[in-house]
Structures are given as C-alpha cells and as structure tokens.
Amino acid sequence: MTQLSEIALDSHFASQLRSLQSYSKEHPVSQDDHDISQRWMQHFQNAKGLDKFARNCMLLMMFDQLRDLGHLSKPFTDLKNLIRPMDDLLNEYHGTTTMEEGQLSPVEDIQDSDTNVSNYGSGSSGFSPGTPYPISTNEFESIKRSNQDLLKEIDSLHSRTVETEKLYLSKSQILEKQIAEKSAVAKTKLPQEGIYQSCRAACQLLKNWPGESVRLNFLATCLEPFLQNDMITSLQVSELDLSLENTLNAMVKRACSRRDENVRMLYDHILCQEKNDLKEKEDKVRRLQESTRLERQRLRALAEDLKRRENFIWRHQAVATLAIAGLSSNDQRSPSSTNLKCESCLKEMSIRKGHMDPIGRSSKGDVVDLEKLSDALSDLSIDKW
C-alpha cells in the first residue's frame, strides 16, 4: 500500500470520527462507554501501515454498536484486546452494525482523497502543508487504480459487515427470547414452600445469633429463592443486612445499658436500706447495753444494801440472844472472855438456841437470791449484745 493510500485511510478515519462525535452530542453515552471509547481512540491514533484499514473498520464497528445497541460490547469492552492486533480482532468479530445513512460513504471519502491528490500539483493539498511537489501522469493513474482497489475492498468489507450484523441481530433476538422464557419459567416454578423454609431458617438464625461477631444475613436468607440469579439485588440485600445487624446491635446495647442501670439502682437502694437497718439495730443494741449497765449498777447497789441490813440484823439478834440467856452465868465469867467472843460465835450460839428472828431468816433468803441474780448478771458481757 502506498503512502497516499494511507492518507486516504486517514481521511476516511477523520470523517468517521466526526460522525461519531456528532452522534455522541445528540445521543449521550454512559461514562463507562465514554472512558472505553477514549482508550480505543488513543489506540487507533497509534495505528500504522496496514493497521489503518483495520482501524477504520473497528471505528465503524464502534459507531454501529453505539447507534444500534446504545452501548459498547465486545471486542471493545474487553480491554485486553488493546494489546492484540486489530486485524485479528476484525477477522474474529467481523463488525456488528452498518454505517449511519448521513455518514460519508467510502466512495465519497475516496473521491475526496482523489481530489486532494489532484491538487498536489497546484500546491493546495490539505494533507501536506509543506512545499508541493509535481506528480507524473503515470504515477497519478497508479494511485487512482490503488484507490479504486481500496474502494472495492471497503465495499466488500461493508457487505460482509451487513451480513454479520443481520446474523448477529437474529441470534441476539433468539438468545434474548430464550433468556426471557427461562426467567418466566423459573418465576412460575418458584415454590411457596421454599419461601416458607427460607423464612423459618432466617428466624432460626436470628434466634441463635451470638451478636456482632458473626454476620446474620437475615434478609438474604429470607429472600434466597429470589436472589439465586440476581447478583445486583444480592449486593443490595447484603447492604441492607449489614444495616439491620447494626440496628439490632444498637438495640441490644441500649437494652443492656438500661438493665445494668436498673440493677445498679436496685443494688444502691438495697444497700442504703441495709445500712439504715444496721444503724437502727446498732442504736437498739446500744440502748439495751446502756439499760443493762444501769440495771447491773442498780442490782449491785441493792445487794450491798441487803448485805448491810443482814449484818445489822445479825448483830441485833446476837445482842437479843445474850439478853434472853441471862447475865447470871455470864457474870461468873471474866468480862474479858465475854468480850473476846467474835460475832460469828454469837451467830452460831443464836442458831443453836433457835431464837433467830423469822424476819432475819427471810431477809437472809432474799440476800442469797439477790447474790445469785447479781452473779448471773455479772457473767453477761456487753459484747454478747
């Protein structure tokens, strides 16, 4: 292929690019398709030599996909094809759509290139801004024949593209119909029992859920029969599951906090009540101890008083006994011997003679009882209260 044929291919590429830009302004494409097309445009601009023909065909295929399908498909969506030769891609896919009616035809592009070639002699060529050079008639005829051969090749490729497009459309319609039928059959055959079992399994998961350390997947389990072949909805349901788990964790934490607060308040109330009861008991014990101490003091005082009374009565009885016995026998004795008798001897003598006062006997019994009571009370210690 000569240098001028490459120029014609570049002109055709520029015309196709203008048509694509015009169509993109009227029919905006998605951001993903825009980014993919920019990658391929950079790849197309680096084409050299024989790759330029394949480049033009690939650009035509891209335009047809955007016009007929509304989006890009293979081979453009597979970015690994950027490193493959464009001739191989073209032979593998053969294009999918036809050119737009308002688009410049390959014949017109070649005629434009012929016009540009004819202007080389007059210095008005738009492809070579440098100094013009003369072209001989034979060379011009050779270039013209090459352009005609290129035109025939483009027409042949265009017809193959149309046939491939028709085949692709027919197969695409058949495939879409089969997919729709399968989806309809799957929906009609969806058993209600499966939904019931999925909901029961989800309830069991919720019942045995240990907390935020393990994923719950409650909604995904409930809707499992509907999500088997829908990846997009599955991702959305997974996000909802995560939100549900966070909500449940927050509710459990709030409930635990309220319970802990109630238990703490209850313990504080019980502790305060026990402190008050203990204080009352201590006051009561203190009062009892004080009353016991006073009672012991009173009993000791009574015991001492009774002892004094008993001694007085013993002395009085001894004197009375001596008076009754008479002083005749006592006068014969020495006064010193009489004075030497102790008080205990006098008591013994009065007891032997049996002239003790009954009042004294009863007083002595009372004294003994009081002494026993005093001894019993003395054994009680304050610590026992």
Q: What is the pLDDT of residues 267-316, one digit of tens each?
A: 999 999 999 999 999 999 999 999 999 999 999 999 999 999 999 999 88
Instruction: Please give the mean pLDDT across all residues of the chain.
Output: 72
Same domain for 198 and 326?
no
Same domain for 51 and 177?
yes
Read off the pLDDT of each residue in 361-367 and give the average, rounded to a whole number.
50
Q: Minimum mean pLDDT among 143-157, 162-176, 308-322, 359-373: which range?
A: 359-373
Residue at 294 is within a domain: no
pLDDT at 323 over 60: yes
pTM for this entry: 0.28
pLDDT at 326 over 90: no
Same domain for 203 and 137?
no
How many domains, the chain? Answer: 3
Same domain for 172 and 235?
no
Nearest partner of 57 among 123, 149, 143, 156, judged by Cα: 156
Q: How far apart are CA 21 and CA 374, in angstroms?
A: 125
- What residue spans of 189-230 are helical by DSSP H? 192-207, 218-222
pLDDT at 103 over 70: no
Q: Comparing 270 with 373, which gets the higher pLDDT?
A: 270
- CB atoms inside a 10 Å sphere around CB 147: 20
Q: How far apart are CA 343 and CA 315, in angstroms?
A: 7
Q: What's the number of CA atoms in the CB half-sphere (13 Å) around residue 366? A: 16
Q: How far apart are CA 170 and CA 151, in angstroms?
A: 29
Spatial CB neighbours of 201, under 8 Å, sequence gap ≥ 6: 221
DSSP state of 217: -
Token pair recorded at residue 22: 């015009």
Same domain for 69 and 210?
no
Structural domain of residue 160, as residue ranges? 3-188
The domain boundary residue, chosen from 188, 217, 245: 188
Residue at 295 is within a domain: no
pLDDT tens, residue by residue, 157-210: 888 888 888 888 888 889 888 888 877 766 655 556 677 888 888 888 888 888
Nearest partner of 168 among 292, 275, 64, judged by Cα: 64
Same domain for 335 and 378?
yes
Structure confidence at residue 373 as a pLDDT band (50, 70, 90)? low
Same domain for 150 and 259?
no
Q: How far apart are CA 263 and CA 189, in angstroms?
A: 54
Cβ proximity of 307 and 374 under 8 Å: no
Residue at 354 is within a domain: yes
Q: Comparing 292 with 322, which gets the higher pLDDT?
A: 292
Structure confidence at residue 119 as a pLDDT band (50, 70, 90)? very low
